[in-house]
Amino acid sequence: MKSITIVMVFIFIGLTAFGVQAEIYSWTDENGVKHYSHTPPPDRSVSVKTAPEIQPDPTTDQKIEKINEENIDAILEALEKEEQTPAPKPVKTQKPPSRQERIAAEEEKLEEKIAWLEQLPPQAYTNMRSKQAIIGRYQYRMQLLLSNPDEYFEKYGN
């Protein structure tokens, strides 16, 4: 039942959408009253102005260039010049950090994480035992990093 209703709504919208596009007429009557309407004025003796087509704002920075026979050569030349310009050289990447720099950076991350976990309020944890277990995992990682960095980086990456 719902699908029939939806189909009917779409059919109704489709049939009525053609009448949406209309001109807007404006005129001033003999009493000086300005009128706006989608139908022309009843008395054709008054001058009628239709709304002008909406034009792009000339103050915008976007330059719209229409392609026609006169400027097609200029556009093609500009495209060829763009293709001929050399690609920018890739930026040299920094050399990877040394082993000691990697260890120091990872140690700093772990210390910050442990400090952050310790400063959390008790409500952030299920109970004190879970708090100790979570902090203990990071302390274990710190010990492993300091005692055997190769195993640490193999196990935890980076």
22 or 87, which is more confident: 87
How much of the chain, in percent, has pLDDT values that exceed 70? 66
- Give the torsion sign (CA, 14, 18, 24, 30): negative
Torsion of CA 28, 29, 33, 38, to 10 degrees: -60
Where do the H-state alpha helices sit in the chain?
A: 2-16, 72-84, 99-119, 128-147, 149-156
In this prediction the pTM is 0.41
CB 8 within 8 Å of CB 2: no
92 or 127, which is more confident: 127
CB 30 within 8 Å of CB 45: no
Mean pLDDT of 126-139: 88
Give me the residues paired with residue 28 across strands.
34
